[in-house]
Each structure stands twice: as structure tokens, then as C-alpha cells.
Structure 1
């Protein structure tokens, strides 16, 4: 088992390197194409950055835009606001706060060796 697997128990075959952490501006997202799927990858914070990965397709608009949304918080939840209809998606759970039936998928994301990794 390699070091990236020891972080979460996900097998080596599942982890994909996305980009260097420094390529994502703090409190923004980028879109990555992983196995034909559009995945929004977010960096939250600067000093102790956290990364999140959710489906990039906004289920309300049907457009691949969530990586371009505004990152913020509602209470204790870190969210992204869709740039089209402004629904808020919890970055940890994928839940749509305004309409839970429109929630999005999430995937494990980690920073390892200054790279952002996502497991599908």
C-alpha cells in the first residue's frame, strides 16, 4: 500500500492526480475530466488548505458550471453557489441546501506531496 492510500483506505487504482495545489487559487474551484466525468475540485483556505470534489454538473441547469461558482459558508457548512440559479451545494456532502433532491455526487479528495488527488 502506498502513502496516498494510507490517507483514506481507497485503493491505488482509484486515485487520480489532478494538479499541483498551487494551481488552484484559494477559495475557488477548477474542473477536471476524470474517466469521462466532469468533476469540480475546490481548494478552501490558504494556510491549511482543504480540498473537495463534487460533480461539476448543476442538476438544476444541466450545465457543467459548479467549478465556477462562488465558495463561501452558510453556518458551519462550506458551500459553492451555482453561477446560474444560485443554489448552494455543501462541498462535503454534495447536498443542495435549497432542494436536497437536487444534490450532487462527491468523491474523496486529498492533498499529498503538494498535489491534489481525487478518488473515483
Structure 2
């Protein structure tokens, strides 16, 4: 996907992985989280510009459009009934960020 050093801590970045737009957030020296960049409620590609936060120990992102809050571990909407945000597994190896996508949604980026 990219070098870990390319990601600024606590800031979202968007990237294209296998034809899909993905948002990445670097939390600390070795933790990166990934989800679809597309807001599941509106369809707009804006989530990399969402606001990182936490709720009950969960790392969250709030959509910049309607402020729905999503758990970045499982994609649940924590603001009430709402669509799930697809989240993706991330691995950091040798200073590189690797994002996995489900089959049929684009190939894993290495």
C-alpha cells in the first residue's frame, strides 16, 4: 500500500486499493486501521477526512458529513441504526502498510 512513514499519526489518508477507495489512519508507531473511504450512508468518498475519536474503548471515526460515528474494529454505526462501514485488516511489515480486501472487492495490496 505505502510506507508506514508516509502516514501522519492521527490523520486520515485515502488510497486506491484494487480499484476500491480505502481510508487509512495511523494511530501510533505501529498501528494502522483501514476502512472504506466511502461513507455508507451517503456514498460520498469522505471518511479519510472524518474525525478520529473513541467511545467506550473503541477507536472510532465520525463522518464529516452527518457525523455518524463508526467503530473502526467492526464497522458498526454507534450513532444509532445505520449501515455498517466495511473495515479491512491491516498489517505493518518491514515498514510497509499492507491492506487486505475481501475477495471480489479488489486484490490485497502489498
Q: Is the 8 A contact 2:41 2:82 kept in 1?
A: no
Does residue 104 of structure 1 match 2:99?
Answer: no
Q: What is the RMSD computed on CA atoms of the aligned residues? A: 1.3
Structure 1 length-normalised TM? 0.78
Structure that is richer in helix per residue: 1
Which residue does 2:38 correspond to in 1? 57
Match 1:116 to one of 97, 100, 105 = 97
Paired positions, count: 101
Structure that is richer in strand per residue: 1
Give structure 1 stretches of 5+ with no counterpart: 1-17
Distance 1:74 1:44 in 2: 15
SS in 1 for 2:82: helix
Does residue 26 of structure 1 match 2:23?
Answer: no
Which residue does 2:18 correspond to in 1? 35
